[in-house]
Chains A and B, each alone.
Chain A
Amino acid sequence: MKAYKWLILLVLILVISGCSSWGVKPWERDFLAQQKMQLIAEPVEMGLDDHIYFSKEGSSGGRSFGGGGCGCN
């Protein structure tokens, strides 16, 4: 389990340190502005799925939070 945590943190650090060479110019944001390219492209669908998985499994969240609890898990 510890190996997993450090590997993921390492990837995170690499992303941050390498980020000055990544990216687009302001006029290259055509695709990124599209709804289908948003990180949460379908918030209503994600909200419904999160509620199902929160009720049926032992894990929740990670991507975002908020929206309320319920007496299901």
Chain B
Amino acid sequence: MTKKLDKSKAPLGSTLAAIGCALLQGLPNQVQAGELEKWDVDAAALIYSESDSRVQAAEPVISATRNFDSETKLNLKLVLDTLTGASPNGALPSDQPQTFTRPSGNGSYTTPAGELPLDDTFRDTRVAASADWSAPLSRDWLYSVGGHFSSEHDYLSMGTNASLSRYLNQKNTTLTLAGGASLDTISPEGGLPVGLSPMAVKGSTGFSSDFAASRSGSEDNKQVTDLLLGVTQVINRRTLMQFNYSLNLADGYLTDPYKLVSVLDQPGGTTQEYRYESRPDSRIKQALFGQVKYQLGSGDVADLSYRYQFDDWGLNSHTLEFKYRWDLGRHYLEPQVRWYTQSAVDFYQPYALESQVNAGLDEVTADYRLGDFDAWTLGIRYGYQVSATQEAYTRLSLYQQTTGDFSSATTPASGDDIPDTTAVMWILGYKF
């Protein structure tokens, strides 16, 4: 079921310009000019494209910051995210064609033999807006507050965040405590699937009652609480470091309502049926993050960061990122590299066995994004200083996610049957 975009709405850019002009209309001319100078705007668009007819996305973003003085500012951000293409639905490739019922229950789609099952139901547009205010409380204290909102046809997210920072040692050390809370509402197409219930087969006798039996309610919530403790330290005139500890607590509906798990009679056997996945209703994630920035004599800047994340679902990940901004005067070139590795959550399996399902399996996911994989990103960013206050920039990157064989005593699988992801990303932006 495709969501129709209202094509009669004015393009975003001219709408924002109209709002800006309307706001300024009441002000005298010199105030108008002075007001615009105090806003810094960064407008960009991301084009994201996966190989093999998978996800394609276009994401324009505009971020405007009004600087009141060196430490007081308001940031407003608007993001539009349009998604098309197909995503793996969690089922395993088979040597037979496979037919899946669409999440809405209206229709089905067939995957040819030997191919990775992809669901192309996900044509969607998401709008997200956020506002953040930061200001000093006194000479030694800085605070910030913010809110965000995000909406798509089957998902709504609203949240707030706040932080407090304390300067020490002539502002060479900054201690930060930040917190956030958000409430998300999930209203999937066709309603919420009952975890581990069988997928009703479209066209079979009793489909209507089978489909109804696999559904329970139309929407559910998820509450997320974040906490961050950070230390920023100036080492010397050229070097800055940061260390953060963060905690993320999620409670409520954490399952992906569109993902299935293939049920096989035995490893390497034939697919008997499909069951809806089911994840636990709480997740506690923790991360340790460190970053160092160093400016060389040439004006080049090296940026290295590392994050170690672990949670009570059993997932561990390491992320290492390095960027080198090569200063060329009026322009710059910045190669970027990111390496990421993740170990699967405890309840991840590329497929399930009939014997496990019959024995009362209650938590399982075949979503490769919670499995074992390594990922590399290689990118290059170029920027050109058009004037003292304006910059044009672009970035091209390649993202490659690779899965290996899944070794397990009960459900082993070949890496060839678990999705890899290859994507090209292109950003084009302008600051003024």
Contacts and interface: CB of A to CB of B under 8 A. Distances in A.
B172 A19 contact: yes
Given A12-B243, A24-B234, A59-B319, A68 B157 contact: yes
A31 B238 contact: yes
A52 B170 contact: no
B169 A23 contact: yes
B66 interface: no
Contact of A65 (B154, B228, B291, B370): B228
Contacts of A71: 152, 154-155, 186
Contacts of A11: 243, 290
B182 A69 contact: yes
Nearest to B153: A71
Given A43-B63, A58-B369, A68 B246 contact: no
Contacts of A70: 81, 126, 128, 150, 152, 155, 157
Nearest to B224: A69
A69 B130 contact: no
Contacts of B242: 39
Nearest to A8: B288
Interface residues of A, number: 51
B301 A32 contact: no
B172 A22 contact: yes
The range of chain B's interface size is 35 or more
Interface in B287-324: 287-291, 293, 295, 301, 303, 305, 307-310, 315-317, 319
Nearest to B425: A52
B77 A47 contact: yes
A66 B169 contact: no
Given A15-B231, A61-B287, A63-B305, A48 B236 contact: no
B425 A66 contact: no
A66 B180 contact: yes
Contact of B307 (A26, A47, A62): A62
Interface in A42-73: 43-45, 47-48, 51-53, 56-71, 73
A52 B48 contact: yes
B44 interface: yes
A29 B375 CA distance: 37
B231 A22 contact: no
Contacts of A30: 237
Contacts of A59: 285, 287, 307, 309, 315, 317, 319, 340, 342
Given A59-B342, A62-B244, A32 B233 contact: no
Nearest to B228: A65
Contact of A1 (B126, B157, B233, B316): B316
A47 to B, nearest CB: 7
Interface string B209-223: 000000000000010
Interface in B411-432: 421, 423, 425, 427, 429
B121 interface: no
Contacts of A44: 42, 44, 61, 63, 429
Interface in B141-188: 146, 148-150, 152, 154-155, 157, 159, 161, 168-173, 178, 180, 182, 184, 186
Nearest to B129: A68
A36 B159 CA distance: 29
Most buried by B among A11, A20, A28, A44: A44
Interface of B: 42, 44, 46, 48, 59, 61, 63, 77, 79, 81, 126, 128, 130, 132, 146, 148-150, 152, 154-155, 157, 159, 161, 168-173, 178, 180, 182, 184, 186, 222, 224, 226, 228, 231-238, 240-246, 248, 256, 285, 287-291, 293, 295, 301, 303, 305, 307-310, 315-317, 319, 325, 327, 332, 340, 342, 345, 369-370, 375, 381, 395, 399, 401, 421, 423, 425, 427, 429
Given A1-B316, A39-B291, A68-B130, 15 more contacts: A11-B243, A19-B169, A22-B234, A24-B236, A32-B234, A44-B63, A45-B381, A47-B79, A52-B48, A57-B369, A59-B307, A62-B289, A66-B148, A66-B159, A66-B161
20 contacts: A12-B243, A22-B234, A30-B237, A36-B332, A37-B295, A39-B240, A41-B301, A41-B303, A45-B381, A48-B44, A48-B61, A57-B401, A58-B369, A61-B226, A62-B289, A62-B309, A65-B178, A66-B161, A67-B148, A68-B148
